[in-house]
Homo-oligomer: A and B are copies of this chain.
Amino acid sequence: MKRKENAQAYLVMNNKKLTIDDIALALGISKTTVSRAISGKGRISQATRNKVKEFIEINNYKPNIIAKSLAQSKTYNIAVLIPSDCNISELPFFQNCMYGVCEAAASRDYDVLVIYTSGNETDNLERVIINNKIDGVVVTRTVVDDNVVKLLKRHNLPFVTIGSTNDPEVIRIDHDHRSACCQLTRLLIRQGIQKIALIGGNNTHMVTLNRYQGFLDAFRLEKLEPNKDNIYLNVENTSTIDDITENLLKKDVECILCMDDVICSKVLYKLQKEHVDVPDRIKLASFYNSMLLANQTPSITTLDFDVKTLGVTSCNILLDVINSQEVETKTYLDYKIFELDSTK
């Protein structure tokens, strides 16, 4: 009873933010003890712990993270890296990743710094590292021979990558794009579709290469040869896609596989413009589902990855690394195949 009154009194006479010293003073104990009660580290009696917890509750005490940071050499911040050279179509992926990362971070009382990097431009990241503002990094895209990965290793900072790397030490979280694309391709082949074309994006991105490998795997496993002339990588703009689509129509390809929804929606747009019926005249499928193709007629066969969960998982694994827990080097998340009208 007495205690509660003190607490209230304290609150009234002081309008600044409460510190650990204030609590110690009000409760007649040392600040060491208060600190222990809060952190749970070291021996402390249940009674005093409760006393402190109660006071904190009543007075709505919040520790100053900055002071904690300085004392512990931790920041309780992580960074999420967004490629500054990503095009508008890739945005939803990174946005969803980031959303997942932020959610997971918040629930563990970490905050998230956004940093834009591109292959050669890593200054922003380096500045933040040198300024000691982060405890770890989520890399949302990996490229071949990744500068960012090198930088992070050099600075010895915990990090995880979304997407594969050639470096086996790197902790990575991903969907198994290779096996997913292999599966989808096999599914089509087994329907009797053999003249399949492939259109993909930037081939310095690991994910593009993985999807491509999966495509090849499928043919190998089905003991077939893909027609290399119908494989187009590094396709980034609309007019190129239009040309490719026209060519593929002339060549009487049976199905166009697109590495992502943006390519797919552009192909679809072109086909509709030319009044080419999908799936009767030509079939169409996408290796990545971003909701861009939702509500489309015909409904498009596609692989579905839960990108937000990818972000959540990556963040959780990173925080485990930061807090010196054992983690798996490689984590693959589940995916789904939506077999819909466009390949029927």
Indicate if A291 sits at the interface (CB-CB under 8 A): yes
Return the contact of A128 from the options B84, B111, B292 (Cβ within 8 A).
B111
Indicate if A216 sits at the interface (CB-CB under 8 A): no
The complex is assembled from copies of this chain, and their number is 2
Indicate if A50 sits at the interface (CB-CB under 8 A): no
- B114 engages A112 (CB within 8 Å): yes
Nearest-Cβ distance from residue A8 to partner chain B, whole angstroms: 20
CA distance A102 to B239 in the complex (A): 32
Most buried by B among A109, A112, A114: A114
- A88 engages B132 (CB within 8 Å): no
CA distance A78 to B109 in the complex (A): 17
Interface residues of A in 57-76 (CB under 8 A from B): 62, 64-67, 69-70, 75-76
- A65 engages B131 (CB within 8 Å): yes
Return the contact of A133 from the options B98, B111, B295 (Cβ within 8 A).
B111
CA distance A128 to B238 in the complex (A): 42
Indicate if A219 sits at the interface (CB-CB under 8 A): no
Nearest-Cβ distance from residue A83 to partner chain B, whole angstroms: 11
Return the contact of A92 from the options B66, B69, B88 (Cβ within 8 A).
B88
Size of interface on A: residues with Cβ below 8 Å to B:
46
Closest residue of chain B to A74, judged by CB? B66
Nearest-Cβ distance from residue A270 to partner chain B, whole angstroms: 11
CA distance A20 to B297 in the complex (A): 65
Closest residue of chain B to A99, judged by CB? B116
In the assembled complex, which residues on chain B have CB atoms less than 8 Å from the CB atom of A91? 91-92, 95
Nearest-Cβ distance from residue A311 to partner chain B, whole angstroms: 12
In the assembled complex, which residues on chain B have CB atoms less than 8 Å from the CB atom of A132? 64-66
Nearest-Cβ distance from residue A294 to partner chain B, whole angstroms: 8
CA distance A115 to B99 in the complex (A): 9
In the assembled complex, which residues on chain B have CB atoms less than 8 Å from the CB atom of A272? 272-273
In the assembled complex, which residues on chain B have CB atoms less than 8 Å from the CB atom of A26? none
What are 19 A-B pairs with beta-carbon distances under 8 A? Answer: A62-B130, A64-B131, A64-B132, A65-B131, A65-B133, A69-B69, A70-B70, A77-B133, A91-B91, A91-B95, A95-B95, A99-B116, A102-B114, A103-B116, A109-B131, A113-B114, A114-B114, A237-B295, A272-B273
Question: Which 10 residue pairs across A and B have the least CB separation, nearest first?
Answer: A65-B131, A238-B295, A62-B130, A66-B69, A114-B114, A66-B70, A111-B113, A70-B70, A91-B91, A106-B124
| A→B interface (CB under 8 Å) | 62, 64-67, 69-70, 75-77, 80, 84, 88, 91-92, 95, 98-99, 102-103, 106, 109, 111-116, 124, 127-128, 130-133, 237-239, 269, 272-273, 290-292, 294-295
**19 other contacts beyond A112-B114, A114-B114, with CB at 8 A cut-off?**
A62-B130, A66-B66, A66-B69, A69-B69, A69-B70, A70-B70, A77-B113, A77-B133, A88-B92, A88-B290, A88-B291, A99-B116, A102-B115, A106-B127, A111-B128, A113-B113, A238-B294, A238-B295, A239-B295
